[in-house]
Copies of this chain bind each other. A is one copy, B any other.
């Protein structure tokens, strides 16, 4: 099969896949076909449909990460404990064969054990973290992966040693869509000044549930125009992430649109940042894991 393989990020809402030849991306596809859209027991046939001609004339290896390995996914793959290395990810991964004969495997997520602290979990972002490490040749770093559930992670000596989840994206969405704060808002405009005002508000020593109400009152008092309320709220929520985590250089891993916002907020806190594309990190991480897995399997032959 000439070294072709497929990398897949299969999440709750979205499906994204890359057809690879070694390190090179040959083709890419995405679909709004996350786990929520797959009927129970239909993962194999759904995947075949999604991959189409990529698997018509062959059965390339398939490497998957994300919520596809969760309780609601194809197979539930146990979380790796911290600290997590690529080795432990591979050891805990789930291997199986698809109905059309592709060898497939699912990267496990990572779990932060409670031991007095609040437990936490991630699925998918661990691959991006290892990808970032490889692409930039760094083994000790802090990174933020913005999104529905923003992740703050720390890598030491090539191992993920700590991380925390902030429900920033989801909070923003439910507040704008379902709360008083979003009621009767016109279409949002980009307003960096409103965004930074939100960031500044996040630094007040007050509860978020209190600060949120300012998105209402500043609109009522005419200090923030209705079309900028969305950016004010975004600044408030993103700023919150930096209030208790604001030391040293931090990598921002994601789309340009999101990392730019985080960079603006980080600057306001005097935090140094570097941005990197999330997809590049994901592909690099999967490529490395896939290669290690192949080497392991060859070693076992």
Q: Which of A204, A209, A237 has the most CB of B within 10 A?
A: A209
Contacting residues, chain B, for A277 (C-beta < 8 A): none
- The complex places the Cα of A22 from the Cα of B175 at a distance, in Å, of 43
Contact A209 B237 (CB under 8 A): yes
Contacting residues, chain B, for A141 (C-beta < 8 A): none
| Chain B nearest Cβ from A217, distance in angstroms | 4
Give the size category of A's interface with B.
35 or more
- The complex places the Cα of A22 from the Cα of B142 at a distance, in Å, of 67
Contact B210 A165 (CB under 8 A): yes
Contacting residues, chain B, for A89 (C-beta < 8 A): none
A208: which of B121, B201, B207, B220 is its contact (CB, 8 Å)?
Answer: B207
| Chain B nearest Cβ from A78, distance in angstroms | 12
Contacting residues, chain B, for A114 (C-beta < 8 A): 221, 223
A179: which of B118, B164, B170 is its contact (CB, 8 Å)?
Answer: B170
Contact A167 B223 (CB under 8 A): no
Q: Is A42 an interface residue (CB 8 A)?
A: no
Q: Which of A118, A164, A214 has the most CB of B within 10 A?
A: A118
- The complex places the Cα of A210 from the Cα of B244 at a distance, in Å, of 10
Contact A218 B119 (CB under 8 A): yes
Q: Which residue of B lies closest to A219 (CB)?
A: B119
Q: Which residue of B lies closest to A120 (CB)?
A: B217
Check A177/B178 contact, CB under 8 A, given A212-B167, A244-B205.
Answer: yes
Contact A118 B212 (CB under 8 A): no
Q: Is A241 an interface residue (CB 8 A)?
A: yes
Contact A213 B179 (CB under 8 A): no
| Chain B nearest Cβ from A234, distance in angstroms | 12
Contact A207 B177 (CB under 8 A): no
Contact B174 A213 (CB under 8 A): no
Contact B165 A170 (CB under 8 A): no
- The complex places the Cα of A168 from the Cα of B208 at a distance, in Å, of 10
- The complex places the Cα of A79 from the Cα of B240 at a distance, in Å, of 31
Contacting residues, chain B, for A211 (C-beta < 8 A): 118
Contacting residues, chain B, for A221 (C-beta < 8 A): 114, 119
Contact B209 A171 (CB under 8 A): yes
Check A217/B177 contact, CB under 8 A, given A166-B210, A208-B207, A209-B240.
Answer: no
Q: Is A301 an interface residue (CB 8 A)?
A: no
Within 8 A of B (CB), among A198-235: 201, 204-214, 217-218, 220-221, 223
- The complex places the Cα of A137 from the Cα of B180 at a distance, in Å, of 36
Q: Is A149 an interface residue (CB 8 A)?
A: yes
Contacting residues, chain B, for A209 (C-beta < 8 A): 166-168, 171, 208, 237, 240-241
A207: which of B149, B201, B218, B241 is its contact (CB, 8 Å)?
Answer: B241
When A and B form their complex, which 4 residue pairs have the shortest distance between CB atoms, in order from nearest?
A208-B208, A118-B214, A119-B217, A207-B240
Query: Could you list some 9 contacts between A and B, CB below 8 A?
Result: A119-B220, A121-B220, A164-B206, A171-B209, A174-B179, A178-B178, A206-B244, A207-B243, A207-B244
